[in-house]
């Protein structure tokens, strides 16, 4: 494509994008294709000669679009949202156009310095103290990995980096039974061995029982292990349960554990002062992760990794080959030393566009509304004789199931699975599930910036209608 072609197609594309935003609710939310259906329409090899952009785009609409699950739909109530806003899409267009590789300050000073500032703005918006600093990373999984590696290196005097694990103590890592699976994956790949991840039981609200954490740490000490790291969840994936961060923090301090807080999802609610009860004790932590790409309207990927002691992190990660040395190395942040990969996307731009285009007050208003409407749904479920609430609703995730009191546990599980599949097959809304105490649990989470109470009411009406349609 030459520049003239680019301009022409970009205009068409901008119209397509605006039309998509306007019409997204007309698509089935969950893609209705069968496995292999998309691939079978794609030729096994591609042609030697160039094709017209119009042809490529026509195929995109015909072949690819039916295989898209519409995360952009306000009727997407599955997993956790990857909610974004139009401002962040515009920023991504600019980011792709500039193609900046922000690995060191010199490779685009604006990328580094905007990131410095965005981490400060976000820290203030979340109500964190000035002790915290950090950088933008791809995902929360990566952030938690950084925390584990830093804890490992700091505890070993940076010896594991140097010599490997031989002769080192058996380090132990603690997280609740409800913590996100990224801790399991990270423990494996950071070399600790998954048997050294100790899962701490949860209470009836699915939050870690801190007394059990202390018992586990003491038992490990008695066995000669080295308790190293504890993860507290501020919003678990299953139910958005909030671990008692203050009590965990006190235990971390007593036993000298690295304390990491996973606020990947619910962190967004901290911009609203009423929700800051959830972060009580977070100030005792050494590191924390929060994903604006989940519920702060900034498109994937955008994770904020905050630390109190960035030097410990960079000491664990820093490698400076000759070709990366610059004159400003001692004066600036070179964010390549803050994570595994060298190259890094210019993610700060979309956060800047989002924060400025909404303004703090509107962001707070949207989050408040999402939580109010989740509360409304929770109350409807509590008042219903046919549905039952299965977990508290601290923010905007509602966990529930159909239960008319006439089925065995086994029948209930089968019925709720069927109900969810029917609802999703309707294409009107999309929800996913988890299992809580063996119960098949429907999860409803509303996090789209343009969600309205009407969407929530229609979703609830559909669930009742579908249950009736299935003969209940
Ligand atoms: N932590 C929590 C609580 C999550 O819910 C998730 C994903 O849903 C993650 C971590 C992992 O997030 P990411 O996809 O950014 O690695």
Please write the tens of the pLDDT for every residue from 327-369: 999 999 999 999 999 999 999 999 999 999 999 999 999 999 9
Residue 234 has what pLDDT? Answer: 98
Report yes or no on 104 lying in a domain: yes
One domain for residues 312 and 385: no
> What element of type H or E holds 172?
strand 171-176
| Residue 241 contacts residue 265 (beta carbons within 8 Å) | no
One domain for residues 354 and 408: no
CATH number, residue 193: 3.40.640.10
> Which atom of ligand 1 lies at the shortest distance from residue 266's CA?
3
Q: Single out the residue of 328, 435, 414 nearest to residue 106, CA to CA.
A: 328
Q: What is the pLDDT of residues 428-462, one digit of tens each?
A: 999 999 999 999 999 999 999 999 999 999 999 99
Exposure class string for 173-202: b at 16+ Cβ within 10 A, else e: bbbbebbbebbeebbeebebeeebbbbbeb
Report yes or no on 59 lying in a domain: yes
| Residue 78 contacts residue 96 (beta carbons within 8 Å) | no
Token pair of 467 as six digits: 């249950």
CATH number, residue 382: 3.90.1150.170
Ligand 1 pocket: which of 237, 292, 296 to mutate (most atoms <8 Å of CB)? 237
Q: What is the pLDDT of residues 311-323, one digit of tens each?
A: 999 999 998 899 9
State yes or no: pLDDT of 139 exceeds 80. Answer: yes
Please state, in angstroms and rounded to a whole number, the distance separating the CA atoms of residues 398 and 390. 8
Rounded alpha-carbon distances, angstroms, from residue 111 to 117, 357, 387: 10, 19, 50
Q: Is the CB of 291 under 6 A from ligand 1?
A: yes
Share of the chain above pLDDT 70, in %: 100
Question: Is the sign of the CA dihedral 291, 297, 300, 302 positive or negative?
Answer: negative
> Which atom of ligand 1 lies at the shortest distance from residue 138's CA?
15
Q: Is the CB of 443 under 6 A from ligand 1?
A: no
Share of the chain above pLDDT 90, in %: 98
Report yes or no on 82 lying in a domain: no
One domain for residues 346 and 441: no
Rounded alpha-carbon distances, angstroms, from residue 332 to 113, 116, 142, 311, 441: 9, 10, 23, 13, 49
> Which atom of ligand 1 lies at the shortest distance from residue 301's CA?
15
One domain for residues 123 and 253: yes
Angle between helix 348-358 and helix 109-125 axes, rounded to 10 deg: 50
Q: What is the pLDDT of residues 156-180, one digit of tens each?
A: 999 999 999 999 999 999 999 999 9
Q: Is the CB of 141 under 6 A from ligand 1?
A: yes
Token pair of 73 as six digits: 């739909």
Residue 471 has what pLDDT? Answer: 78
Q: Is the CB of 266 under 6 A from ligand 1?
A: no
Q: What is the pLDDT of residues 375-404, one digit of tens each?
A: 999 999 999 999 999 999 999 999 999 999
Report yes or no on 246 lying in a domain: yes
One domain for residues 291 and 226: yes
Q: What is the pLDDT of residues 229-270, one digit of tens each?
A: 999 999 999 999 999 999 999 999 999 999 999 999 999 999
Q: Which residues, 6 or more positions from 301, have their beta carbon under 8 angstroms from its beta carbon? A: 138, 139, 293, 345, 347
Report yes or no on 84 lying in a domain: no
Rounded alpha-carbon distances, angstroms, from residue 12 to 6, 73, 79, 151: 10, 22, 32, 50
Mean pLDDT of 84-88: 95
Q: Single out the residue of 57, 81, 64, 56 nearest to residue 27, CA to CA.
A: 64
One domain for residues 380 and 349: no
Question: CB count, 10 Å around CB of 317?
Answer: 17
One domain for residues 321 and 456: no
Per DSSP, the three-state class of 260 is strand
Token pair of 395 as six digits: 């923010």
State yes or no: pLDDT of 300 exceeds 80. Answer: yes
Q: Is the CB of 176 under 6 A from ligand 1?
A: no
- In whole numbers, what is the pLDDT of the chain averaged over residues? 96
> Where does a domain end: 68, 101, 118?
68
| Cα of 180 from ligand 1 centre, angstroms | 6
**pLDDT confidence band for 4 (50 / 70 / 90):** very high
**pLDDT confidence band for 20 (50 / 70 / 90):** very high
Q: What is the pLDDT of residues 286-299, one digit of tens each?
A: 999 999 999 999 99
> How many structural domains is the chain composed of?
3
Please state, in angstroms and rounded to a whole number, the distance separating the CA atoms of residues 424 and 70. 12
Q: Is the CB of 178 under 6 A from ligand 1?
A: no
| Cα of 142 from ligand 1 centre, angstroms | 10
One domain for residues 366 and 416: yes
440 CB-contact burial (10 Å; exposed 0-12 / middle 13-18 / buried 19+): buried
Report yes or no on 291 lying in a domain: yes
One domain for residues 353 and 438: no
> What element of type H or E holds 219?
helix 210-222
> Pairing mode, if any, of strands 303-307 and 387-389?
unpaired
Report yes or no on 83 lying in a domain: no
Report yes or no on 88 lying in a domain: no
Q: Give the domain range for residue 135.
A: 93-358
Query: Following CA atoms 169, 170, 174, 179 in sequence, which dihedral angle do they give, to the nearest 10 degrees?
Result: 120
Mean pLDDT of 46-64: 95
| Residue 390 contacts residue 204 (beta carbons within 8 Å) | no
ipTM: 0.98
Ligand 1 pocket: which of 264, 304, 397 to mutate (most atoms <8 Å of CB)? 264
State yes or no: pLDDT of 472 exceeds 80. Answer: no
Question: Is the full-model pTM beyond 0.80?
Answer: yes
Q: Is the CB of 262 under 6 A from ligand 1?
A: yes
């Amino acid at each position: 494509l030459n520049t003239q072609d680019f301009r022409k197609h970009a205009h068409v594309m901008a119209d397509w994008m605006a039309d998509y935003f306007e019409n997204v609710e007309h698509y089935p939310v969950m893609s209705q294709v069968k496995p292999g259906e998309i691939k079978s329409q794609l030729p096994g090899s591609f042609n030697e000669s160039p094709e017209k952009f119009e042809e490529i785009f026509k195929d995109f609409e015909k072949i690819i679009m039916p295989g898209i699950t519409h995360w952009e739909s306000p009727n997407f109530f599955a997993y956790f949202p990857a909610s974004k806003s139009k401002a962040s899409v515009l920023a991504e267009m600019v980011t792709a156009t500039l193609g900046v590789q922000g690995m060191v300050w010199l490779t685009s000073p604006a990328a580094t310095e905007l990131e410095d500032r965005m981490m400060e703005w976000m820290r203030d918006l979340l109500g964190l103290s000035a002790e915290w600093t950090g950088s933008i990373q791809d995902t929360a999984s990566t952030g938690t990995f950084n925390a584990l590696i830093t804890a490992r290196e700091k505890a070993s005097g940076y010896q594991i980096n140097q010599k490997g694990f031989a002769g080192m103590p058996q380090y132990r890592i603690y997280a609740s039974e409800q913590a996100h699976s990224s801790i399991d994956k990270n423990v494996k790949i950071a070399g600790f061995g998954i048997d050294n991840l100790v899962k701490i039981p949860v209470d009836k609200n699915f939050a870690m029982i801190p007394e059990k954490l202390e018992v586990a740490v003491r038992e490990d000490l008695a066995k000669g292990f080295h308790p190293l790291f504890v993860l507290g969840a501020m919003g678990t994936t299953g139910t958005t349960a909030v671990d008692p961060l203050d009590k965990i923090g006190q235990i971390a301090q007593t036993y000298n554990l690295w304390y990491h807080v996973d606020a990947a999802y619910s962190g967004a609610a901290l911009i609203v002062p009423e929700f800051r009860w959830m972060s009580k004790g977070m100030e005792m932590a050494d590191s924390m992760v929060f994903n604006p790409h989940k519920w702060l309207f900034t498109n994937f990927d955008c994770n904020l990794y905050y630390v109190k002691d960035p030097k410990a992190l960079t000491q664990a990660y820093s490698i400076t080959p000759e070709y990366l040395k610059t004159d400003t190395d001692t004066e600036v942040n070179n964010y390549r030393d803050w994570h595994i990969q060298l190259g890094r996307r210019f993610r700060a731009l979309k956060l800047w566009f989002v924060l400025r285009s909404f303004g703090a007050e509107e962001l707070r208003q949207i989050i408040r509304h999402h939580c109010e409407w989740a509360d409304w749904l929770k109350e409807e479920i509590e008042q219903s004789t046919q549905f039952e609430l299965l977990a508290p609703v601290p923010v905007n995730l509602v966990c529930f199931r159909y239960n008319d009191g006439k089925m065995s546990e086994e029948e209930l599980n089968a019925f709720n699975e069927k109900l969810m599949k029917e609802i999703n097959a309707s294409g009107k809304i999309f929800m996913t599930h988890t299992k809580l105490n063996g119960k098949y649990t429907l999860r409803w989470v509303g996090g789209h910036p343009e969600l309205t109470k009407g969407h929530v009411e229609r979703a609830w009406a559909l669930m009742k209608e579908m249950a009736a349609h299935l003969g209940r």
